[in-house]
Chain A
Amino acid sequence: MNDKKNIDRLFQERFKDFERVPDDKIWSNIHDALHEKKTKRVLPLWWKLSGIAAGFILAFLAFTTFTNSLNNEPSVVVAPKEIENRNSTESNVDSSTETRIAVENNKSLEEKNDLNTNKNSINSTSKTENKVATNNANSSENEPDAEENINLNSQIKNTKTKRISTKKSFLKPNPNTAVAKNSRITNDQDSVEKNASLKEEVVENSFVEKSTEKTQLSDKTITAKSDRATTLAENKTPNKAIKNIDSTAVALASEPNPLEEIARQNNEKDKAVADVKINRWQVTTNLAPVYFNSATNGSPIESQFADNSKSYENNLSVGVGVQYAVNTKLSLRTGLNKMTLSYGTNDIMFFGALNSLGVKNVSATSATENIEVVSATNFVALSPFEDNLQNMETGVLNQRMGYFEVPLELSYALVNKKFGVHLIGGVSTLFLEENAVSVQSATTNISLGQANNLNTIHFSSNLGLGFKYAFMKNFQAHFEPTLKYQFNTFSRDAGNFRPYFVGLYTGVSYRF
């Protein structure tokens, strides 16, 4: 039976539902292609070394800063003796220490006597006091009373370097202490002064700020009005026990708080620093021509373009920066720069194709997904016929990458005069801001879309040499050629493209 069929139907029928099972190796190939293991990133040796170097610099920096803060202790420490005395007291007061304290007390009081008129009385007083101190120390060596007493004594001694008088003005208002108390003290003082000039009151109040701050009140009153004094003491220093009430000597003292001492020292230090003030802060503007390049001749767009010549474009980086001088040599700096990096892949051809495969690492927009781009070297043998069929354009494949750059750098001054030279090292974090791939020929320029293998955040390691010239007291101009080697630029398939750029950062900075 000869069924005459037209050939179309024959093939349609026979090939309807035509299937063939392919070889298993196809799937394994596909799987491998889709799940290729990421190649382990090899850090260049110099990067590791610079990391170590940076670590050393930071450690050195931390160390010097710390030591400086120790060495630069101002000599205005209030009561080193007191601490000494306390220490010795705490470590089981022995008789010699006590003697020393006694002697010191004598000394101090003698000095006070110079200020006062009634020397003898004071002497007798001091003897009494010493007795008290010694007695207490002897009788209850490990008791806090002894410590307190000795502290009292030493404080008396300290008063020689401090204020010896009844300076009411030093007794600042205390939230815990009513002004009335001041007047009471004053009253005490007045009466004591009147009575026999045996009275000496030292009111020391270095920090009266908040309730947490203690009122340091060292008040030595030799008076018979012990009751009143006691009341006063209780009111003044509610947190402190009154350690010693003598018939002839009433001691009212708050033990100076070590924390308070440190705070005071810091204050003093700050003052000292203010005296030799250096302008630590500096704000800068930056404008830089940026020269983009790659260490190798690859292509992050598609491997077929790896061997094509690239023309790297020069762009501009603009930004602002802030710099903090850790000391006269070292500065820490950061900022924000906006820049664009771009390059062109030469010798490519492009044409409208039937839903083309696209360019491997470019996510095309729907308008441009049918543009096929190939390296011109793949096309040399085209016949004129086919060339005519396809509206082929020869041109350049451009890639633009815009970034916000946040550098974090250390600058070390080699010369730091009116003219300065410094070394700059650090890292930058680059935030992808612009991402465009386009093809360009003599007649047209078409955007292809965005590269899909660019990391939104990547880094660069920076190395530069800076020159500055201070043209005014607080203003200086700088010129800093800096090499920034990028890494982790591409999320995958960088196509052996190792970008870096050199920026010639120029600008003006203001110190304050």
Chain B
Amino acid sequence: MGLDQLINDCKQNNAKAQEQIYKLFAPKFFGVCLKYSANYAEAEDNLQDGFIIIFKKIEQFQFKGSFEGWAKRIMINNALQKYRNQVRFLEVVHDTVAEDAIPEIDDQDISIDYLMKIIQELPDRYRMVFNLYVLDGYSHKEIAEMLGITTGTTKSNLARARMILQEKINQYTGKETLPSTR
């Protein structure tokens, strides 16, 4: 059964088709959720809610563009939404870190679990901006719109995120690597 047929069946709220779609995309989307969430449990919540939204909104999918892209966007939006709705006091940092200062690190055998861990440990907005920009290829402008902040802030957040990650990787590898200025 083709994906399109499965999607059409999902539009009829067909449980079998939904399960197949879920099985097809759950591992990939769980990876997305893990990146955007602060911990494993939150990722599970996001995955669950994201899929519920996908199936509820699947009627709106008009087969323009890939289903995966459409669904992934919902997953990401859902994760961002959680973050938006979470009540928290953010530390307000108005700093000016050089935007282009991308730290370089040794690509040693750093486990992906560790990388995931340090991403999750990032402050929420840093994590969002880092994921959106570095891993999912959104532009600063898009991110700024998505998060309702300025591009200046997103750039600053991204730089901060990189620094934190750099530090943690260095701690992990036991090296002190100064940010390169290139």
Contact = CB atoms under 8 A, between A and B. Distances in A.
Interface of A: 2-8, 10-12, 14-15, 18-23, 26-27, 29-31, 33-35, 351-357, 372, 374, 378-383, 385-386, 389-391
A3 to B, nearest CB: 5
Contacts of A4: 104-107
Contacts, number: 138
21 contacts: A4-B104, A4-B107, A8-B134, A11-B119, A11-B135, A11-B165, A22-B26, A22-B47, A26-B26, A31-B15, A33-B48, A352-B148, A353-B148, A354-B80, A354-B147, A357-B77, A372-B84, A374-B85, A383-B90, A389-B148, A390-B148
A14 to B, nearest CB: 5
B28 A19 contact: yes
Contact of A5 (B81, B90, B105, B115): B105
B19 interface: yes
Given A10-B110, A355-B73, A372-B81, 11 more contacts: A14-B115, A15-B135, A22-B27, A22-B47, A26-B44, A34-B18, A34-B56, A351-B148, A357-B53, A383-B89, A389-B148
B52 A354 contact: no
A356 B80 CA distance: 9
B102 A6 contact: yes
Given A3-B107, A386-B90, A20 B48 contact: no
B13 interface: yes
A453 to B, nearest CB: 12
A8 B102 contact: yes
Interface in B125-182: 134-135, 145-149, 162, 165-166, 169
Q: Which of A21, A22, A35, A389 has the most CB of B within 10 A?
A: A22
Interface string B43-72: 010011001110110000000000000000
A19 B31 CA distance: 5
| 5 tightest Cβ-Cβ pairs between the two chains A and B | A19-B27, A354-B146, A381-B87, A18-B31, A6-B102
Interface of B: 13, 15, 18-19, 22-23, 26-28, 30-31, 34-35, 44, 47-48, 51-53, 55-56, 73-74, 77-78, 80-81, 84-85, 87-90, 92, 102-108, 110, 112, 115, 119, 134-135, 145-149, 162, 165-166, 169
Contacts of A22: 26-27, 30, 44, 47
Contact of B26 (A21, A353, A390): A21
Contacts of A35: 13, 15
Nearest to A3: B107
A350 to B, nearest CB: 13
Contacts of B73: 355
A18 B112 contact: yes
Given A14-B112, A21-B30, A385-B90, A30 B55 contact: yes
B48 A354 contact: no
Contacts of B89: 381, 383
A15 B48 contact: no
A18 B134 CA distance: 14
Contact of A6 (B22, B104, B147): B104
A302 to B, nearest CB: 13
Contacts of B147: 354, 389
A391 B112 CA distance: 38
A354 B148 contact: yes
A18 B113 CA distance: 11
A6 B74 CA distance: 29
B149 A355 contact: no
B48 A26 contact: yes
A381 B90 CA distance: 11
A376 to B, nearest CB: 12
Best-surrounded residue of B51, B73, B89, B149 (most CB of chain A within 10 A): B51
B81 A353 contact: yes
Nearest to B78: A357
B34 A357 contact: no
A31 B145 CA distance: 33
A378 B88 CA distance: 11
A17 B112 CA distance: 12
B81 A27 contact: no
A32 to B, nearest CB: 10
A386 B165 CA distance: 25
Contact of B31 (A6, A20, A27): A20
A23 B48 CA distance: 10
A352, A372, A386, A390, most chain B CB atoms within 10 A: A386
A8 B169 CA distance: 13
A20 B26 CA distance: 8
A414 to B, nearest CB: 52
B45 to A, nearest CB: 9
B77 A354 contact: yes
A386 B92 CA distance: 10
A389 B87 CA distance: 14
Contacts of B110: 10, 14
